[in-house]
Structure 1
Amino acid sequence: MFRCFFPDEYLDSAYVVDYDRLYREGYRGLIYDIDNTLVPHGAPADERAIALFAHLRELGFGYCLLSNNQIERVSSFADAIGAQFIENAHKPSVRNYKKAMELLGTDTGNTIFIGDQLFTDVYGAKRSGIRNILVKPIHPKEEIQIVLKRYLEKIVLHFYKKEEGIS
């Protein structure tokens, strides 16, 4: 019943992903959400985010930020890490996931999406045919509409964890 929202992988953070392994496996494009995936909601790019994207560049990954935020927020973050971006993406709509792959020159077979929300990030990636990684939110402070969705996410994650044998 909830399978369309189940992530392909569930990790503690975008900063613990084994990017070296993913590159060896043939992945070349990474699409990221920003808020509560890479930094707390509304925060600028910090040293950890800047270092991560420098490492991704060294490995040879292309990356794109895909955010439902407006251009001011997304462009300032993207400039700080040297990323392409799509703002006001209307996730979980498929259109901008596909546009991000076009910008990266990748396809569904060699692209991964990383985000912190099931009903926007993961669901949109799954609908687009992109492998996805759900990460735990970095910080508990969130906008009210996201707080409400988190209650529903807990139910879906309960069934996901049960099916995957995760405690």
Structure 2
Amino acid sequence: MFERFFPDAYMESTYVIPFEKLYEEGVRGVIFDIDNTLVPHGAPADKRAKVLFKRLEQIGFSSCLISNNQEARVKLFNQDIGTNYIYNAHKPSVKNYIKAMRIMGTDQTNTVFIGDQLFTDVWGAKRAGIRNILVKPIHPKEEIQIVLKRYLEKLVLHFYNKKNA
């Protein structure tokens, strides 16, 4: 029943993902959510995020940020990162996942999406046919509509963990 929402992988943090291994497996493009995936909600890029994007570039990845936030928020985060971005993305709509791949020059076979929410990030990536990695939220402070979705996510993740135990 909940399988359609199960992530392809579930990791502690974006910052522990073995990106070199993904590259060896043929992944060439990485799409990221921003808030609570890379930094706490509303925060600018921190040192850890800046180092990660430099590392990704050195490995050979193309990257793109995809956010439901408005341009001002995405631009603030990206000002020291300098990667591609799509704002007001309407995730889980498939349209902007496909646009991100087109921008990076990748496709469903060599792209991975990384985000912290099941019903927007992961569900959209799954619908677009993209490999996906769910990460635990960086910070507990979130907008009320996200807090409400987290209760449903806990239920889905219970069954996900049970299946993968």
Relative to the length of structure 2, the TM-score reads 0.99
Cα shift at 1:106: 0.0
2:80 is the alignment partner of 1:55 = no
Cα shift at 1:25: 0.8
Cα shift at 1:79: 2.2
Q: Percent identity?
A: 68
Q: SS where residue 81 of structure 1 aligns?
A: coil
Q: SS where residue 108 of structure 1 aligns?
A: coil
Runs of 4+ in 1 over 3 A off after TM superposition: none
Q: Which residue of 2 aligns with 1:124?
A: 124
Q: SS where residue 113 of structure 2 aligns?
A: strand
CA–CA distance in 1 between the matches of 2:150 and 2:85?
A: 25
State the Cα RMSD in Å: 0.5
With 75-84 and 47-56 compared, the bigger mean Cα shift is at 75-84
Cα shift at 1:98: 0.1
CA–CA distance in 2 between the matches of 1:43 and 1:129?
A: 30
Q: Which residue of 1 aligns with 2:8?
A: 8
- Matched pairs, number: 165
Q: SS where residue 10 of structure 1 aligns?
A: strand
Q: SS where residue 79 of structure 2 aligns?
A: helix
Structure 1: tracts of 5 or more residues without a match:
none
2:20 is the alignment partner of 1:20 = yes
Structure 2: tracts of 5 or more residues without a match:
none
Q: Which residue of 2 aligns with 1:151?
A: 151
Q: 1:114 is aligned with what amino acid?
A: I
Q: Which residue of 1 aligns with 2:80?
A: 80
Q: SS where residue 64 of structure 2 aligns?
A: strand
Deviations 1:44-94 (A, max 9, x none): 000000000000000010000000000000012122111100000000000
